[in-house]
Amino acid sequence: MKGLTREQEKRVEDLLSRMTLEEKIGQMNQESPSIVGGFDVPFAELIEMMTDGRISKEEFQKIMEGAKQDYHEDEIRKGGVGSLMVQDPVKVNELQKIAVEESRLGIPLIFGLDVIHGFRSVYPIAIAEAGSFDTDLFERTARMAAKESRAAGVAWHFAPMLDVARDARWGRVSEGPGEDPYLGSEFARAKVRGLQNDHSSTENYVAACLKHYVGYGACEAGRDYNTVSMAMHLFYNAYLKPFEAAVDEGAMTVMAAFNDLNGVPCTVNEFLLRKTLKESLGFPGFVVSDANAIRECVVHGIAEDDRDAGIKAALAGMDMDMGTEIYSKELKSAVEEGLLPMEVIDEAARRILSVKMWLGLFDNPYVSEEAMARYKVLPKEHRDLALEAAEKSVVLLKNEGNVLPLKEDARISLVGTLAESREEIIGAWAMSWKEEDCVTIRAGMEETFKNLRYFRCGGPEGDINMDEVLSAGDYGDVIVAVLGELVSMSGEASSKADITIPGRQRELLEMLMHTGKPVVLLLMNGRPLALDWEYNYVPVIVEGWQLGIEMGHAVANVLSGRVNPEGRLSSSFPAMTGQCPVYYNHMNTGRPGSKSKFTSRYLDAPLDSLYPFGYGLSYTSYEYSGLAVKEEGDALEIDVTVKNAGGRDGRETVQLYMQDVTASLVRPVKELKAFRKAELKAGESKSIHFTLPKKDMGFYDNEKVYRLEDGLFRIYAGGNSRDCLMEEIRVAF
């Protein structure tokens, strides 16, 4: 396998030659600790009770603490488990000891976990971090997360999540880098480098797991787990792109998606797993199913029973079964009966063992005492990085009357239950954070603003406290209202049919506006929201997402102007939910939407997004001029001048887009092709240069032929996907 020395490869082959069929299948089995009781109702019902509110999250947690867990020790001893989801280093060592010292061949376990946006140091959710357009940052946060998790024994991250996501109703838009395949690919590459490339010690890197392969983000109507149908040109040019980039960067594992793609669930999709990923892209590592997904192929109606599903998945190229034990129970007899070739098992076991070898688990299976103690207190540089990431991800959407930045001695009424919460700054899929590390918005703001008072008033849940609203209006010269979504409203299984600000928060906003004081709406949310009303009536809107442990400081720094905001939207924001999916890089039509009736538009909603991809303001302003495009050899050489026309230094994200005007297939109206960060002092101008290789100007057709077609191209440069300068050029390839 790429990445292994000859010696390591030999060790893998030697092991394989000594393994029984059961032991090989054991490697293909991933377990989580099973809850085996300690409470009176079945576990599934308990989860339901929490989801529908019959018991609170706290009650649920209490019950879970008292629950008995089975860590599958006997199975590990027999060589029947290849991987486990555990994050407690003491438990990791205990289970690893059984695998290494008590199983026949001593093959170590690989411990995996959802480390999507940080381990102990939680960074902004991915949709927010992607908006920093800072590939170096993407890499550094991943590297830090790898080190932190490895010190807890977790050598495998179920990340990065790379689903191109264009429908904000889908709750999982929060977990990935947004709507654009190019930004998604840059994010993918950087994350893989950050997670995997620091081999100065085995404690510094982990295996990445690209998920969810593939097309999950295009689930119909934005409803989680729903069916996915797409034309193949869209598959190759958009949805596959970030995965392709990450495999090229050397990613070691991939997780198949829950959904079907054009009728075949990804879990049993030979075209996707074997043909495309392993054969065509040359992916050397192993593929794991999503949780319980092999069994779900029966429900999909694509397999008759567990056994049939297991055989189909293995044949398709699925190397590891997450959570169903179907492989353990069914594959041995399937091989013995000639239903599954032995080579399929050998290949899967070889891939899994190779990744374990690459991780150094055979030589360093345990977490050292020193590593366990390393992050007892979060080191300053980890906190600093969390703060940097959070600051760079804040997006200023509107700043009418230059209400922002706020003076540090301004009288501020801080409003909203979200402002006080530690949990809500963290975002979906973070499991290893500690309360003591979290800086709430209230805490961060109180450190900076001397005359700030807090009034709860209301939030995503519950009622509005009118007395508090009136007091907030009386006290502050300005009101900062922290409103938006709870963490539980985005992430997995959290699709929504209405993505306006939930609950009674709009009413609350109206009441705050009625106080006559200027209102700064600071949003916390895990998806793009439909902000038509807010856009029309609220003077200042700041997109704060869920920025992780340092959110409080980051927000205070941006609102006070200590930091000039530079974050951009990695996903377009609709004006109204009914516009979803709305994304800048949509296909052209024969009747592009306009004011006239028989065009592609709605009668009752605007044509375009409210805030487009790439959008974000700062406390200065930038002017673009002098876009020049010329063809030189194998590339287009592009220059554009960007001027900081305001009174503050800043960092602008200069974006380069392209349109293939005439092609043999309809092409998107714009496609991001490159971006650069430009540091500009107040008043300074810089010429920004891009080289666009002509080989990158093509596209795949439905038969996967990559086409470079002569003709007219439009080149756009600007500070977001809508407001750009444009030049046309004819290109011959």
- In angstroms, the CA 269 to CA 294 distance is 11
Q: Distance of CA 249 to CAs 300, 315, 570, 696, Å?
A: 33, 26, 22, 17
Residue among 713, 714, 715 at smallest CA distance from 732: 713
Q: One-letter amino acid identity for 308?
A: D
Question: Where does 396-493 have alpha helices with state H?
Answer: 441-448, 466-475
From 290, 306, 308, 321, the catalytic residue = 290
CB of 258 to ligand BGC, least distance (A): 6
DSSP code, position 161: B
- In angstroms, the CA 418 to CA 458 distance is 9
- In angstroms, the CA 493 to CA 490 distance is 8
- In angstroms, the CA 334 to CA 327 distance is 10
* Encoded tokens for 614: 């790439």
Which residue bears the tokens 């990431």?
Answer: 389
Q: Smaller CB distance to ligand BGC: residue 27 or 30?
A: 30
Q: Smaller CB distance to ligand BGC: residue 211 or 241?
A: 211
Residue among 399, 401, 393, 405 at smallest CA distance from 448: 405
Q: Smaller CB distance to ligand BGC: residue 291 or 345?
A: 291
- In angstroms, the CA 178 to CA 185 distance is 11
Cis peptide before 212 (omega within 30 of 0): yes
Sign of CA dihedral 703, 709, 712, 715: positive
Decide: 125 and 117 in contact? Cβ < 8 Å.
yes
Q: Smaller CB distance to ligand BGC: residue 257 or 441?
A: 257
C-beta nearest to ligand BGC: residue: 158
Q: Distance of CA 683 to CAs 236, 624, 668, Å?
A: 43, 13, 35
Q: Distance of CA 475 to CAs 418, 464, 563, Å?
A: 20, 18, 26
Q: What is the 3-state secondary structure of 109-121?
A: CEEEECCCCCCCC
At 524, which helix (H) or strand (E)?
A: strand 519-524
Decide: 265 and 296 in contact? Cβ < 8 Å.
yes
CB of 546 to ligand BGC, least distance (A): 17
Q: Smaller CB distance to ligand BGC: residue 260 or 543?
A: 260
Residue among 581, 403, 545, 567 at smallest CA distance from 480: 403
With the CA atoms of 279, 282, 287 and 293 taken in that order, what torsion angle do they form, in degrees rounded to the nearest 10? -50
Residues 6+ apart with CB under 8 A from 260: 227, 228, 266, 269, 300, 302
Q: Which parts of this chain interact with ligand BGC (CB under 6 A)?
A: 114, 158, 211, 290-291, 492
Query: Is 36 in a helix, a strand, or coil?
Result: strand
CB of 211 to ligand BGC, least distance (A): 6
- The DSSP line for 231-276 is -HHHIIIIISHHHHHHHHTT--EEEE-SSEETTEEGGG-HIIIIII
290 among known catalytic residues: yes
Decide: 661 and 697 in contact? Cβ < 8 Å.
no
Cis peptide before 160 (omega within 30 of 0): yes
Q: One-letter amino acid identity for 83?
A: S
Q: Distance of CA 60 to CAs 56, 65, 105, 298, 432, Å?
A: 6, 9, 40, 30, 18
- In angstroms, the CA 446 to CA 455 distance is 13
CB of 320 to ligand BGC, least distance (A): 12
| Catalytic center residues | 290
